[in-house]
Structure 1
Amino acid sequence: MRYDPPRPAGRLLLTPQDKDAPARVRRLRRLGLGERSEPAFDAFADRLAHVAAAPYSMVNFIDEQQQFFAGLHTPDGFARGGPAASAGGSELDLGRYMARDHGFCPHVVVRRKALVLEDVCDYPRFAGNPVVDEFGVRSYLGAPLLDSSGIALGTICVVDIEPRPWGRAGLETIKAMAAELTGQLERREEVHGI
């Protein structure tokens, strides 16, 4: 007979407390970010996916309740913002919104550091995340968008449904691209006088 002890809240992962969320939301609203997608963010996500050779990439802004993919790249044959058949034949909804307790980007924002998960199943803390079972996520690489005010506005990330050896090169790439996008956001603020 086998005994499996109960897991708290149905999984090991707990979304980290985000004390900076109210300040981040005020900053995002001031910049006009986090409520609508923009072609420039989709183009950035497309380029990020190409550079990382990843099937999925996102520009993600996070508030107190949810995540918003202002930029989204999905594999050919998948619709941005709508359901499409996954490799396994089931429906996969790749909408622009995701609950704050789904995925790994909320951890990146709170940690204010990049996160490399070559195989999420190797980390009990992350293997229990709903995106692993619901979407088949197996590999994640993300970095925070840290602006000059010191606030982590969100993240950029790449995701794969297979384990991926991102390595140091992947880490350096995601960090450099996060810095590039943060610079674009700050120039946007200067140009528009926000």
Structure 2
Amino acid sequence: MTYDPTGHLLLTPVDQEAPARVRRLRQLGLGERPEPAFDAFADRLAEVTGAPYSMVNFIDENRQFFAGLHTPTGLHSGADLGAVASSGAVSRYMDRDHGYCPHVVVRRKALVLEDVCDYPRFAGNPVVDEIGIRSYLGAPLIDRTGTALGTICVVDTEPRPWGRAGLETIKSLAAELVEQIHRREEGRL
């Protein structure tokens, strides 16, 4: 974990597994382009949880990529989340130091933040001030090689009582998507 010299408690955790993850993502052909199947999965995540935003997110050393994305507009655009490329163009990419998915990947465990402002460690994240995110529910996508490829997650601009039911739902859906990724890989062989 790194610390912000301006006094914020948390930045993004150190990710020792990122190079291996990038190799595995490239082997699977994931993390470089949006995919309709992942957009459909993100739509389903939003429907099941009632969340306005949901993502299938793959993470490399420097950024996050929303291969699947659901937003309230239904346009599968990162604009609603403030995912903006350095050129100012709307993108499905977000800096690695934004959001909570990098924490889930490094921890290799699901994370429930019913109100991110209740947790000083997470309240200082740029997505709180820049986008207005107030709640998060995410789980890692750990494939058969033991690699944490990324996450699935849902977020809201209001606090949400996800509870144990939300935790079990997100973990179950993550396992389902990992199986889908495995079937996709087997189809290529």
Check whether TM > 0.5. yes
Mapping 1:8-23, distance limit 5 Å = 8-9=5-6, 11-23=8-20
- Matched residues in 2 for 1:186 and 1:34: separation? 15
Mapping 1:157-168, distance limit 5 Å = 157-168=153-164
Letter in 2 for 1:23: A
Question: Which of 24, 28, 35 is matched with 2:25 structurally?
Answer: 28
Q: State the partner residue of 1:170.
A: 166
Mapping 1:131-146, distance limit 5 Å = 131-146=127-142
**Contact 1:59 1:69 (8 Å CA) reproduced:** yes
Q: After TM superposition, what 4+ stretches of structure 1 lie above 4 angstroms from structure 2?
A: 91-94
**Residue 155 (1) aligns with residue 144 (2):** no
- Matched residues in 1 for 2:160 and 2:23: separation? 36
Q: State the partner residue of 2:63.
A: 66
Q: Percent identity?
A: 76
**Residue 95 (1) aligns with residue 85 (2):** no
Q: State the partner residue of 2:76.
A: 80
| Structure 1: tracts of 5 or more residues without a match | 1-6
Shift of residue 82, structure 1, vs aligned partner: 5.6
- Matched residues in 2 for 1:172 and 1:8: separation? 37
Shift of residue 12, structure 1, vs aligned partner: 1.8
Shift of residue 95, structure 1, vs aligned partner: 3.0
Letter in 2 for 1:107: H
Q: State the partner residue of 1:50.
A: 47
The normalised TM-score by structure 1 is: 0.89
Shift of residue 150, structure 1, vs aligned partner: 0.5
- Matched residues in 2 for 1:10 and 1:66: separation? 23
Deviation per CA, 1:54-101, whole angstroms, max 9, x where unpaired? 00000000000100000000003x6433646x9xxxx88563000000
Quick check: which has more Rg, 1 or 2?
1
Q: State the partner residue of 1:3.
A: none
